[in-house]
Amino acid sequence: MYTHSNSNLYTRRNFIYDLSFNVGFAVLAINGMTAITGCANNEQKSEEKSKNEKSENKLGIALVGLGGYSSGELAPSLKETEHCYLAGIVTGSPQKAEQWKKQYDIPDKNIYNYQNFDSIKDNPDIDIVYVVLPNSMHAEYTIRAARAGKHVICEKPMAITVEECESMVAACKEAGKMLSIGYRLHFDPYHVEMMRLGQKQVYGPIKKIKADNGMNGTSGWRLDKKLSGGGPLMDLGVYCIQGARYTTGLEPIAVTAQEGTKTNKEMFKDIEETISWQMEFPQGITADCMCSYSKGTNLLRAEAEKGWFELSPTYAYRGLKGKTSEGDMNFKGVNQQARQMDDFAKAIKDKRPTPVPGEMGLQDVKIIKAIYKAMETGKRVEVS
């Protein structure tokens, strides 16, 4: 209950005003008596909603970090999921907490901040913690979530160092909890088709991959190397690395790389603005890749002995298009995030591995680090 700072002057009018202003309770006058029902009713509705979701055997997800991706994609997608639902949130902003509480009927007991996060271990409503924070915070909150007894989805890139990734994998294994990386494209039919065409060698053995991903500009923590771990390679390049890996079904054995020209030296003083790199795969396959914060581009193309196949746009949330040397790909658009989260929830319930485990994210970070080393030294670097 809200407590007035001067209890001697705290009148019935103050009491009603403070409650209506600070908490948004409904105040009803009944026979001259003031009855406060709004908070109790809202809380009861939230509790009933949570119980109904649980009774449908859905797993509860708590989103950690309520930035643009959580608010614009993940939370809305959780309205479409069949095996999981939005059960809780973790935020450092009281304003966001209140907004999300009202918008998504989240009970107070399922709202956490970064100081009391570890107490989430006592909440049976929450089965999965989805870490949607700046890259430098991924390791800490993944490890804390696992130690709290929760399964974890961590956004990409998994972390900013190989050692952090290894610690995340180890923590989840020690806790007996599953760790998945937010690789939504594995659940999009266009990318599933790229995997099929490449790995099944429908057009014969692949000879060359081309993967580009760029956008015109960025802002915020992504420009701070301490938070991001690097520039567009960390943010956008991981999609190109992933695309080459799952289209071929193979792992790169060595890389070379070149940093592009900086058009804004002040903005990109600590990180690359554009980077190009080449990956060598077994069987003589090569991948030419590029990512940028100043060039809009979106392509994944495979050239094989008997034809080619590509996606463009490739890495967007929706509106993907694909074609082959024989004609267009035609698939119905899907909610990538809903499919991703549903698959993880179902993997937990079915006690089967996730197709996008922590080990996959760990390998991508190893490749990223090799690319940065190649860029800095100008030498060919082998990938461990």
Catalytic residues: 156, 239
Nearest-angstrom CA–CA distance, 101 and 205: 53
Helix, strand, or coil (residue 260): coil
Between CA 43 and CA 110 the distance in angstroms is 11
CA pair distance 130, 84, nearest whole angstrom: 12
Distance separating alpha carbons of residues 196 and 330, to the nearest angstrom: 15
Give the Cα separation of 225 and 227 in Å (integer): 5
DSSP 178-240: -EEE--GGGGSHHHHHHHHHHHTTTTSSEEEEEEEEEEE---GGGG-HHHHSSSHIIIIIHHH
Look up residue 357 and give its DSSP letter: B
Gyration radius (Cα) of the chain, Å: 24
Rounded Cα distance between 341 and 143, Å, is 19
Longest distance between any two alpha carbons in the chain, whole Å: 87
**Which DSSP string do the residues of 142-170 spell out, in sequence order?**
HHHHHHTT-EEEEPSS--SSHHHHHHHHH
Q: How far apart are CA 245 and CA 281, in angstroms?
A: 9
Written as one string, the DSSP assignment of 40-93 is HHHHHHHHHHHHHHHHTTPEEEEEE--SHHIIIIIHHHTTT-SSEEEEEEE-S-
Pairing, β 274-280 against β 286-292: antiparallel
Tokens 């993907």 belong to residue: 320
Copy the structure tokens of residue 246: 């799952």
